[in-house]
Amino acid sequence: MTLEIKNTEMKNIISNVKKNSIAHELKIEEGDILLSINNQKIQDIIEYKFLISDEYLDVEIQKKNGEIYIYEIEKEYDEDLGIEFINPIIDRARSCSNKCMFCFIDQLPKGMRKTLYFKDDDSRLSFLQGNFITLTNMSEEDIEKMIRYRISPVNISVHTTDSDLRVKMLNNKNAGKLYDIMKKLANASIDMNCQIVLCPDINDKENLDKTLLDLSKLYPHVKSVAIVPVGLTKFREGLYNLKEFDKESSQNLISQIKQVQEKFLNDLGTRFVFLSDEFYIMAKEKMPDYESYEGFPQIENGVGLIAKFEKEVNDYLKNTFLKLKKEKVVSIATGESAFEFMKNISNKIMNNIEGLKINIYKIRNEYFGESITVAGLITASDLIEQLKGKNLGNKLIISKSMLKSDEDIFLDDITLEELEKKLNIKVIPSKNKGREFIKKLIG
């Protein structure tokens, strides 16, 4: 159904009613508008979730014909109404007010998916979807609302706790207030996971030690810290002159973080801070073992992805030996950083599955520049250009991270279906989960 919204206040439009839910039983329908709950207007999804936690509700609904109904509802404390909205957060998403020296969006070329050029910095998206926020565009009232409605956990882009340096890095005069806000959130028992985009000779070395020490003082409400390397594309004309991490600087960082982790493990009972896999690949050093990641609190940041995936594959193969009825040739396309790892994993799998032949193709990132080596930033354009005419066998497996989370479309606005037509082969996205990956290999 397509709805034209003429009144900007009419933003709580229901897009879906779950079958057998409370709303379904009350005959609330797609296209109806939620006006209020217990006489309180709904400003955003956080207020909605907070208000529906009550056991007794008066829900005011405007039907598509303009009539208004009030539904008196008695339900369990944690029972959902079963409605979804056209706009998932109900309100307009807040855009970023920073001009970070390392911002990846500022380094994007033209012609990509339009949504990629919107910089969000919204605490509600952090709570609902795990997005990282900087807290620079939040007023005192916004902070109080986070505390009142128990928006927890939130993911925070810290980068540094040095106020002056953070103002410089984010190019925002409000950026220096971060640590005071975090202390206030910690005192209110709001849990936080933190991210540091590390830039050589900017916020590393001694500054990084200080940042980690400051954040550790807010433990256990700051639950974990992930460190990821700055990503630099070839589209940086006119932007801040930044350096990349290399083998030596990555090795030095790993050594530094090992010492910090040992101290935190002794003092806090947790390693607390974790490096993304890219640093170990650049340093050509062995990844930490599976247990070192303590349950993988920052797996979405690429922290421990390889260790987790390898263990899942090994566990699946431990008691598995298969012989395929018919020989099958399957191809895998991956980025340069994961190429050697995927080659070794594929050899293990072929040793346990007779009749399976796996071709591994390393995709250079011509689109963004060859310094970008992760699989999640591979475009369909590069896949087409570098795989045309290759022996791809029965099907091509790619990482699901190459696609939009809710749609089969690549960063360069090419769909999965278009890629299949160009390469004349079935392309199957796979999550970074060992068991699923193997099953997709063998069908």
Number of domains composing the chain: 3
Residue 2 in this model has a pLDDT that exceeds 50: no
Q: Does residue 7 form part of some domain?
A: no
The answer to whether position 100 is within a domain reads no
CB count within 10 Å of CB 265 equals: 14
* Cα gap 171→175, rounded to integer Å: 8
Per-residue model confidence (pLDDT) at position 4: 33
List the beta bridge partners of residue 72. 58
Strand ranges in 126-239 using DSSP code E only, listed in sequence order:
132-133, 154-157, 192-198, 222-229
Cis bond upstream, residue 220 (ω within 30): yes
Residues 112-162 pLDDT 10s: 777 666 555 544 544 455 578 888 888 898 888 889 888 888 899 999 999
Could you tell me whether strands 40-41 and 33-37 are parallel, antiparallel, or unpaired per DSSP bridges? antiparallel
Whether 251 and 109 share a structural domain:
yes
* Whole-prediction pTM: 0.81
- Which residue range(s) make up the domain with 266? 105-302
- Do 67 and 195 belong to one domain? no
Q: Is the pLDDT of residue 1 over 90?
A: no
CA pair distance 221, 187, nearest whole angstrom:
8
322, 297: one domain: no
**Per-residue confidence band for 324, with pLDDT thresholds at 50, 70 and 90:** confident
Same domain? For 134 and 20 the reply is no
What's residue 323's pLDDT? 87
Q: What is the CATH number of the domain that holds 74?
A: 2.30.42.10
pLDDT band of residue 9 (cuts 50, 70, 90) is: very low
Residues 163 and 240 in one domain: yes
Domain boundary among 237, 271, 302: 302
Q: Is 272 buried (19+), middle (13-18) or exposed (0-12) by CB count in 10 A? A: buried
What CATH number did the domain enclosing 180 receive? Answer: 3.80.30.10
* Range with the poorest average pLDDT among 101-105, 136-140, 251-255, 333-337: 136-140
pLDDT in the model for residue 149: 80
Asked whether 171 and 100 are in contact (CB, 8 A), the reply is yes
Nearest-angstrom CA–CA distance, 241 and 154: 31
Instruction: Answer for the pair 315, 209: CB distance below 8 angstroms, yes or no.
Output: no
Domain end call among 302, 328, 349:
302
pLDDT for the residue 119 = 57
Q: What is the mean pLDDT of the chain?
A: 89
Contact 259, 277 (CB under 8 A): no
Condensed to tens digits (0 to 9), the pLDDT of residues 285-302 reads 999 999 999 999 999 899
Cβ neighbour number for residue 276 with a 10 Å cutoff: 20
Residues 106 and 100: their CA atoms lie apart, in Å, by 9
CB 387 within 8 A of CB 394: no
pLDDT at 85 over 70: yes
Mean pLDDT of 211-215: 98
The pLDDT tens digits of the residues spanning 371-416 come to: 999 999 999 999 999 999 998 999 999 999 999 887 899 999 999 9
What digits encode the pLDDT tens for the residues 50-60? Answer: 788 888 999 99
